[in-house]
Amino acid sequence: MKQSEFLKTVMPFQNKVFRLAKRLLVSTAEAEDATQELYFKLWKNKSKLKDYKNIEAFAMTMTKNYCFDRLKSKQASNLSLVHSNYKENDTGLQRKLELNDSVSIVHDLIENLPPQQKLVIQLRDIEQYEYNEIEELLNISATAIRVTLSRARKTIREQLIKQHNYGIS
């Protein structure tokens, strides 16, 4: 596979990879590194890419696994430090302004969901993948996906209503 051909096949979903990585890793810098790393891995294995029917799903699965590995290694070493680092990056003026914006409430709500729910919300509500694609991607059954998704959506909705009613932001 030539470089141009390779780029043509993998570039269309680079933003999706990046957004998924950012959803899981929180920090933009980390997500950029993850995207870079993923594309490098794909490039190294370019000869095997033809064997996969759906390269995008394959890439997304790789991204997911890579991010979980990253998180695991961080947790094993020094979670608290890393976590404060993440927060540190975001507590700029822009972030404070954003906090007033109710859109970022949703961001924080998704942030607090369990990883699997986070994943499903990202893939379905943001990237708008079909259920069979998510099935292939996460390697779990469509029913399980629906259950997880439903749970996540309901949690987010309840939290939103709570905040809406009490005016907490």
Partner 1 sequence: MELANIEKLLEKYLNATTTIAEENRLKDYFLSDDVAPHLQEYQVLFGYFSTSKDEKFTKTIQLKSQKLSWKWLSVAASIVLLISVYSGFQINENITERNRAEAEKAYEESKMYFSMVSVNLNKGNDAIAQLQHFEKTTNKVFK
Among 15, 75, 78, 91, binds partner 1 (CB under 8 A): 15
Among 3, 47, 94, 100, binds partner 1 (CB under 8 A): 3
CA-to-CA distance for 18 and 42, rounded, in angstroms?
14
Q: Left, alpha or beta for 73 (phi > 0: left; psi -120 to 50: alpha)?
A: alpha
Binding to partner 1 in span 25-44, by CB under 8 A: 32, 35-36, 39-40, 43
CA-to-CA distance for 99 and 118, rounded, in angstroms?
20
Provide, rounded to whole angstroms, the least separation between the CB of residue 114 and partner 1. 16
Binding to partner 1 in span 74-113, by CB under 8 A: 102-103, 105-107
128 binds partner 1 (CB under 8 A): yes
Q: Map residue 74 onto helix, strand or coil.
A: helix
Quick one: tokens of 162? 């709570």
Closest of 78, 86, 159, 70 to residue 117, by C-alpha:
159
**Residues found near partner 1 in the complex (CB under 8 A):** 3, 6, 14-15, 17-19, 22, 32, 35-36, 39-40, 43, 102-103, 105-107, 125-128, 130, 145-147, 149-150, 153-154, 156-157, 160-161, 164
